[in-house]
Structure 1
Amino acid sequence: MSPSLTKIGALTAVLAGSMGLTGCATKGFVREQVATVNQRVDALDAKLQTTDGTAQQALAEARSASGQSQQNSQRLDQLNGRVDGVEQRMQEAQRKRARN
């Protein structure tokens, strides 16, 4: 044999051997790996659902508090008007007393 054919034959043997050794993943291995990932995804999904529920509840409470705050603000505005009226009447009464 010529030296180049020997080198090509040896190279072919090495390549064929390395291809045979690497192989493909078995179905069982893939299923095992996917199952592990699925468990992690399921756990994260459960946490996400819990977090979303908490966020929705907090949003509802914030909206309720905002509505209550607006009502309180309106009541304060009404009371301020009444207090201003009472103060004006008191000042008028004091002025009348001072004149007499």
Structure 2
Amino acid sequence: MSPSIKIVSALGMLTASLGLGGCATKGYVNEQIATVNQRIDGVEQRLQATDGVAQAARSEAQAANAQAQTNTQRIDQLGARVDGVEQRMVEAQRKRPRN
């Protein structure tokens, strides 16, 4: 193919594609937007449900953390009491006369 035929062919294709492209009608655009909006609404509903589950899980985790802290304090107190009892037992054994 000669260069001039290539240019004419390219211009012909360009003109044809511009002529066939056309504009979308308002109805078509509205249909497409409605479809996208439905998908967005579905995603928003799932997001809200997931957020509710996450908030509930966070509340439960905070309550469990508070209980764990309370339990830790109790264990620390009991540990101190056990240490005191153990010291008294050791002292009592030292004071006991040996046979």
TM interval, shorter chain, is 0.7 to 0.9
Deviation readout 1:10-50 (Å, 9 max, x if unpaired) = x79x83x6544321101110111011100110010011101
Aligned amino acid, residue 37 of structure 1: V
The aligned residue for residue 43 of structure 2 is 44
The aligned residue for residue 33 of structure 2 is 34
Give the 3 Å change call, closer, same or farther, for CA 74–18 of structure 1 in structure 2.
closer
The root-mean-square deviation of aligned C-alpha atoms, in Å, is 2.2
C-alpha separation between the residues in 2 aligned to 1:55 and 1:98? 65
TM-score when scaled to structure 1? 0.78
C-alpha separation between the residues in 2 aligned to 1:56 and 1:88? 48
Q: Which runs of 5+ in 1 are unaligned?
A: 1-10
C-alpha separation between the residues in 2 aligned to 1:46 and 1:98? 79
Q: Structure 1 vs Structure 2: percent identity of aligned residues?
A: 64
Matches within 5 A, 1:15-26: 15=15, 18-26=17-25
Which is higher, the Rg of structure 1 or of structure 2? Answer: 1
User: Runs of at least 4 residues of structure 1 off by over 3 A?
Assistant: 17-20
Q: Which runs of 5+ in 2 are unaligned?
A: 1-10
TM-score when scaled to structure 2? 0.78
Give the drift of 1:99.
5.1
The aligned residue for residue 3 of structure 1 is none
C-alpha separation between the residues in 1 aligned to 2:85 and 2:17? 99
